[in-house]
Amino acid sequence: MVTHAEVIDPALTRELRRAILRPSLPAAASLPGDDLPDAVHFGVRIGQAIVSTCFVFPDPCPWLPERSPAWHLRQMATAPEHRGRGYAGLAVVAALAHVRAAGADILWLQARERAVPMYERHGFIGVGELFTDEEHTVPHLRMWQPVGAKTDEITPTIKR
């Protein structure tokens, strides 16, 4: 039984991230963010198989530049046959714990529309409307969560 996510070598998560998030890229292709030296990758395993993953790295939040230090969560991916079992949530919980320990003030992300409810269950706040752009060809929502010392100053509200 899986009960947690762990810090993991990004090479072990690359194929899952590529297959879910960038299926048009060839196998073993590098992905945006693979070259970030401060990125911390998380993986949820069943046996030796990685079934869910994401990574975080220090990055200013474009819509809350005054909230610093900020960390960015990217490339959340869960194998289709393992969705709906809480594995993505385990990765998010591990990422939140890591950025809190690192002294972050906020963790932000751009969530695929279908993942918004999962992030909301984990305390993320939606900002603005769903959007698409060159990088995000399926609808996404900007989201964030206060995690640092200023957390008590925030009354979370969903803005959509």
pLDDT (tens digit per residue) in 36-79: 999 999 999 999 899 999 999 999 999 999 999 999 999 999 99
Hey, what domains does the chain have and what are their CATH numbers?
6-153 (3.40.630.30)
Q: How confident is the model over 105-129, as pLDDT tens digits?
A: 999 999 999 999 999 999 999 999 9
**If you search the block for the tokens 């529309």, which residue do you land on?**
113
Tell me, what's the pLDDT at 30? Answer: 86
Question: Which of these, 40, 101, 29, 114, lies nearest to 69 by C-alpha position?
Answer: 101
Q: Could you count the other beta carbons within 10 Å of the beta carbon of residue 76? A: 23
Q: Residue 152: is its pLDDT beyond 70?
A: no
What pLDDT, on the 0 to 100 scale, is given for residue 150?
Answer: 54
pTM: 0.89
Q: State the Cα–Cα distance between residues 117 and 113, nearest whole angstrom.
A: 8
In this structure, which amino acid lies at residue 113? E
Phi, psi of 136 (to 5 degrees): -110, 90
